[in-house]
């Protein structure tokens, strides 16, 4: 026995601390919010942490994504893998699962099942709505969080009690801004992550989470709290009386995503499967340049574009915002694999 959690237990109490150490928390996204939340939860002793992210570490991440270093960028490590490696150094007593995957309607329920809480650390609303549908369907609390520029907001979604994200979509004051278009400073990331982790700990301690949306702009020293209980929609397709969970339908999801502000497009294949990266490297020898391969992805240059290929068949094509152009490049490259 050691006193690793003694100060936390003095505050929470022994029963709540036991709940923390028995809990299973899944974090969707291992970027800024995800890495900050993951570190706090790992240090708090969450029994099992599951990290899910589709991307890899880049130089622009280091300014605010605290789990990563320059060597992770050089190796082009997937964020979920790099985060796990760092978190294992922080707390070797907990179980950390990492999943390099794109979240969609066909895999989200399998990803989040058997977890106590879901922490939102995604970078787009489509994914959030997919997670929201699955969280409500399976009855798992979902702690929403978002930040951009110097502004952020968070609120808890408790299935059967609070409004869900679908109910509140038209009431979120984000104005379409993203970190890639207007930037973000790291302090707001830490603040929102701190609020999210606090909600997780309160939930595990047995406290009721009220439907309060908290927002703040740390640059302007502004903050607000709004009770959103009245915004619950009885006809909501996700949490209403006749729920259909529309975002769990794969047909309703795009298979081509323009990555805002990055001059890049992500493609995921219509048929799910696993690619052999070793075979890719062999097949593409002499066809691509600047190849960097690791057990999780292959990065290379092809027809004037930088491509990153993942084991699940996904690809990020840099140097274009045109989905049609990206698909042409992807299909040309895939044909070499299939020959």
Q: Are residues 288 and 198 in the same domain?
A: no
Residue 260 pLDDT exceeds 80:
no
Residue 151 lies in a domain: yes
Please give the Cα distance from 39 to 84 (Å, whole number): 10
Residue 64 lies in a domain: yes
Q: Are residues 268 and 226 in the same domain?
A: no
Residue 62: its pLDDT value, please? 95
For residue 174, give the CATH number of its domain.
Answer: 3.40.50.720
SS3 at position 40? helix
Q: Is 33:147 a contact under the CB 8 Å cutoff? A: yes
Give the list of residues 6+ apart from residue 25 with CB closer than 8 angstroms, or none.
Answer: 41, 46, 48, 49, 50, 115, 116, 117, 118, 119, 200
Predicted TM-score (pTM) of this structure: 0.82
Residue 177 pLDDT exceeds 90:
no
pLDDT in tens, 96-151: 999 999 898 889 999 999 999 999 999 878 889 999 999 999 999 999 999 989 99
Q: Are residues 260 and 196 in the same domain?
A: no
Residue 253: its pLDDT value, please? 56
Residue 273 pLDDT exceeds 80:
no
Give the list of residues 6+ apart from residue 305 with CB closer than 8 angstroms, or none.
Answer: 317, 318, 319, 320, 329
Residue 275: its pLDDT value, please? 74
Please give the Cα distance from 178 to 146 (Å, whole number): 10
Residue 233 lies in a domain: yes
Q: Are residues 289 and 231 in the same domain?
A: no
Q: Are residues 222 and 331 in the same domain?
A: no
Q: Is 327:312 a contact under the CB 8 Å cutoff? A: no
Please give the Cα distance from 174 to 180 (Å, whole number): 14
Where a domain ends, among 215, 250, 285? 250
Residue 97: its pLDDT value, please? 98
Residue 225: its pLDDT value, please? 95
User: Which is nearest to 308 in space by CA: 259, 272, 271, 260?
Assistant: 259
Residue 339: its pLDDT value, please? 57
Q: Are residues 123 and 140 in the same domain?
A: yes
Q: Distances from the Cα of 324 to the Cαs of 147, 253, 267, 330, in angstroms?
A: 31, 17, 10, 10
Q: Which helix (H) or strand (E) holds 51?
A: strand 48-53
Give the list of residues 6+ apart from residue 325 with CB closer than 8 angstroms, or none.
Answer: 265
Residue 180: its pLDDT value, please? 62
Q: Which of 49-63, 73-87, 212-226, 311-325 shows the lowest mean pLDDT across its residues? A: 311-325
Range of the domain at 333: 255-338
Return the higher-pLDDT residue of 71 and 323.
Answer: 71
Q: What percent of the chain has pLDDT over 70?
A: 90
Residue 324: its pLDDT value, please? 83
User: Which is nearest to 57 in space by CA: 22, 84, 40, 82?
Assistant: 82
Residue 232: its pLDDT value, please? 92
Q: Is 255:268 a contact under the CB 8 Å cutoff? A: yes
Q: Are residues 157 and 209 in the same domain?
A: yes
Q: Are residues 48 and 140 in the same domain?
A: yes
Return the higher-pLDDT residue of 321 and 181.
Answer: 321
Residue 1 lies in a domain: no
Q: How many domains does the chain have?
A: 2
User: Is the CA virtual torsion 39, 140, 107, 321 positive or negative?
Assistant: negative
Residue 84 lies in a domain: yes
Where a domain ends, among 229, 250, 271? 250
Where a domain ends, among 192, 220, 250? 250
- C-alpha 196 chain-centroid distance: 14
For residue 310, give the CATH number of its domain.
Answer: 3.30.310
- Which residues participate in catalysis according to the annotation? 179
Q: Are residues 46 and 181 in the same domain?
A: yes
Residue 239: its pLDDT value, please? 95
Residue 158 lies in a domain: yes
pLDDT in tens, 280-308: 888 888 889 998 999 999 999 998 999 99
Q: Are residues 234 and 130 in the same domain?
A: yes
Across the chain, mean pLDDT equals 90
pLDDT in tens, 315-339: 999 999 888 888 888 878 877 775 5
Q: Are residues 170 and 288 in the same domain?
A: no
Give the list of residues 6+ apart from residue 257 with CB closer than 8 angstroms, or none.
Answer: 124, 126, 265, 266
Give the list of residues 6+ apart from residue 243 with CB closer than 8 angstroms, or none.
Answer: 136, 137, 236, 237
Please give the Cα distance from 221 to 234 (Å, whole number): 36
Q: Are residues 123 and 205 in the same domain?
A: yes
Residue 272 pLDDT exceeds 80:
no
């Amino acid at each position: 026995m050691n006193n690793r959690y003694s100060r936390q237990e003095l505050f929470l109490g022994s029963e709540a601390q036991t709940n923390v150490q028995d809990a299973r928390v899944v974090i969707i996204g291992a970027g800024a919010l995800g890495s900050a939340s993951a570190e706090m939860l790992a240090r708090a002793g969450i029994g099992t942490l599951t990290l899910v992210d589709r991307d890899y570490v880049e130089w622009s991440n280091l300014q605010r994504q605290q789990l990563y270093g320059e060597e992770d960028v050089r190796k082009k490590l997937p964020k979920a893998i790099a985060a796990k490696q760092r978190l294992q150094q922080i707390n070797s007593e907990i179980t950390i699962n990492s999943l390099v995957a794109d979240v969609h309607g066909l895999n989200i329920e399998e990803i989040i099942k058997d977890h106590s809480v879901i922490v939102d650390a995604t970078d787009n609303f489509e994914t959030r709505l997919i997670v929201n549908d699955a969280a409500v369907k399976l009855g798992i609390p979902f702690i929403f969080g978002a930040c951009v520029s110097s502004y952020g907001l968070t609120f808890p979604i408790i299935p059967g009690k609070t409004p869900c994200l679908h109910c509140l979509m038209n009431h979120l004051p984000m104005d379409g801004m993203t970190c890639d278009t207007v930037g973000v400073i790291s302090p707001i990331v830490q603040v929102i992550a701190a609020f999210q982790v606090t909600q997780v700990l309160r939930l595990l301690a047995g406290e009721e989470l009220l439907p309060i949306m908290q927002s703040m702009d740390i640059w302007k020293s502004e903050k607000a709290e709004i009770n959103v209980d009245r915004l619950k929609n009885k006809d909501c397709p996700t949490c209403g009386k006749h729920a259909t969970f529309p975002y769990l339908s794969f047909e309703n999801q795009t298979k081509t995503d323009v990555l805002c502000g990055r001059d890049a497009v992500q493609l995921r294949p219509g048929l799910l499967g696993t690619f052999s990266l070793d075979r890719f490297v062999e097949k593409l020898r002499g066809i691509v340049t600047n190849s960097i391969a690791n057990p999780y992805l292959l990065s290379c240059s092809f027809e004037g574009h930088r491509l990153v290929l993942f084991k699940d068949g996904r690809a990020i094509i840099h140097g274009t915002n045109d989905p049609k152009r990206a698909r042409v490049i992807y299909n040309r490259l895939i044909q070499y694999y299939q020959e």
